[in-house]
Each structure stands twice: as C-alpha cells, then as structure tokens.
Amino acid sequence: MKLVCRDRVLDLALPAVMGIVNVTPDSFSDGGLHYERQAAIEAAMRMIDAGAVIIDVGGESTRPGAAEVGGQQEIDRVVPVIEALAARADVVLSVDTSKPEVIMVALRAGAHLVNDVRALRMPGSLAAAAAEGAAVCVMHMRGEPATMQSEPRYLDVVAEVRDFVRERADACLGAGIARDSICIDPGIGFGKTHQHNVELLQNLRTFTELGYPLLIGVSRKGLIGIMTGRPPAERVVGSAVVAALAVQAGASIIRAHDVAATVDAVKVAVALRGEVA
Ligand code: 7PM
C-alpha cells in the first residue's frame, strides 16, 4: 500500500504516523499569532525527529461545539507554518481544512495532502484539491462539529460510515484524483456515541476491504477517556494501545499528538504482524 502525495510517495508497508499541529490560540499561550506560528513550527520539527512522516497543520478547531473560523483567518494561521515546514523538512505536509480558498493557498504554499473532516463536500473544495494534484483524506462526520454529538443515531453504523467514505472516494475519483492518492477515515468521535466508536474500531476490516489506505485518529479523544477514566493529557498510553490494535487490523496511517509513543506502538504492532518492517 502506498499514498501518492504530489511529488512524495508514502510507502505504507510501515504504517505512517501523522503528527497533529494546531495553529489555534489556546488558553495556555496567549502570545499572539507570531508566537503561535513559531510554537507550531517547533512542535512539528520535534514530531518529525520523533518519527512522524506526515504533519497535519490545522487552523480551525473541529472540537464539538467550536466556533467557526473565517477563511482568511485560517490562511493566516496555517500558510506560514506550511511554508516554513516545506523549506525545512521532507515529510508529507497535510492541511486540515474544509474551505476551498484555504485548500488552494495551502497547496500552493507546499502542502501535499488535504485532510478534510467534511470530506471535500464544501462547494469548490474537491475541484481545488484535484486541480493542484493533492492527495486527500475523506473522513466520515455526521452533522457539523457544533451539533454532531447531540444524539447521533444509525441503523448500522459500520455499513453507513463505509458507504459514506466509499461514495466520497468515488466523488474524488470522478473529480480526477488518482486512486492511489486517496485515503479514508471513519472519523472516530465525529457524530458518534461511545458504542458507535467501539463498533467502528471492532470492524476496521470493513474499511480496509475498500482498498484505500485507512487513517485512524483516536489520539486523546473522549473514547479513550471513557475507557481509562483519564483526562486528555493522561490518555497517551490508551491512545497508543488503540493505535497498535488499529495497525493490527490493517490501518495504514495513525493521527496522533504523542508521536514518540505512537511510533513505538506502530513498530510493536508491525513486528507482531510477522512481516518485514
Ligand atoms: C476536540 C475534539 C478537538 C476532537 C479536536 C478533535 C480527526 C481529524 C480531528 C480524525 C482525521 C482531534 C480532533 N480528528 N482528521 N481531525 N481524523 N482525518 O482529536 O480522527 O484532533 S480533530
């Protein structure tokens, strides 16, 4: 399995760790935009040293209930970070956005992959990604971040999520994106109850059978909190265990905050898979 990301090819025989870099103001560091940028670049460089081969740069909070951010504000946050990383690192640069104008500018600044929690459903987003020859991740989300956790219901969550990502992958193919430049993601925590998340993680083979690399993001999420009783900063071990089990079930990309721990978890899972790493 491989993922072609413009001029970079990710060999996913060894599953890839995608490090999460948020360029969003937070309550801990209120140092302004320049400070946020610098902190994001340094965090990304540390993640690369720890073994991340993809860096996911996001400027919009997709937290349940989060406020929406304007396109220009997102560009001001993510583009300088992407430019700096493109000049300093040879990893795959992913932009975490849904907006066509952000996709366009980020790809021109050197991003290789569009990670869109809305699966390129905003008007113009699919065309922007295709026009620039980007790789894409199509993720399932029920509803919108502001409302998605209010009693989501499914008749068969695994089948419904599978059908959705298959349809979005088909839409990407239809727009001219190459088959080997598409990855899929069930969107753990996005419009799902705990039981839905568990059921999806128990049935990852249903997704790998679609033939696209499977990306899984559980890092520090609520389901790890429910399983361990721990706050976000203490969910490193729980998140790494799920990462290892996801790799065992065939996942090719793990999205994570704690890159060193996740790289170890992936290596252990690969070693026990009995293949050559
Ligand atoms: C609060 C709750 C803040 C959840 C941030 C989040 C995914 C993603 C995110 C994922 C892909 C987080 C999430 N999660 N993109 N973006 N897959 N492809 O934990 O699971 O970072 S945002």
Catalytic residue status for 235: no
Rounded to the nearest angstrom, the distance between the alpha carbon of 214 and the centre of ligand 1 is 15
Three-class SS state of 146: coil
| Residue 136: closest CA among 189, 89, 174, 87 | 174
H or E segment at 5? strand 2-5
Q: Contact 250/204 with Cβ under 8 angstroms?
A: yes
Q: What percent of the chain has pLDDT over 70?
A: 94
| Residue 262: closest CA among 76, 120, 54 | 54
DSSP structure class, residue 214: B
Q: 67 versus 76: which is more confidently predicted? A: 76
Question: Diameter of the chain by CA atoms?
Answer: 48
Whether the CB of 219 sits within 6 Å of ligand 1: yes
Query: In testing the pocket of ligand 1, which one of 21, 57, 139, 226 has its CB within 8 Å of the most ligand atoms?
Result: 139
Residue 277 clears pLDDT 60, i.e. is over it: no
Question: Domain-by-domain residue ranges, the chain?
Answer: 2-272
Q: pLDDT value at position 68?
A: 76
Cα 94 to Cα 116: distance, rounded to the nearest angstrom: 10
Cα 121 to Cα 127: distance, rounded to the nearest angstrom: 10
| Residue 47: closest CA among 19, 89, 17 | 19
- What's the predicted TM-score (pTM) here? 0.95
What does the angle CA 4 – CA 257 – CA 64 come to, to the nearest 5 degrees?
A: 95
Query: pLDDT tens across 82-136, in order?
Result: 999 999 999 999 999 999 999 999 999 999 999 999 999 999 999 999 999 999 9
Q: Contact 201/188 with Cβ under 8 angstroms?
A: yes
pLDDT mean over 233-262: 98
Q: Which fold has domain 2-272?
A: TIM Barrel (3.20.20)
Whether the CB of 191 sits within 6 Å of ligand 1: no
Cα 236 to Cα 233: distance, rounded to the nearest angstrom: 7
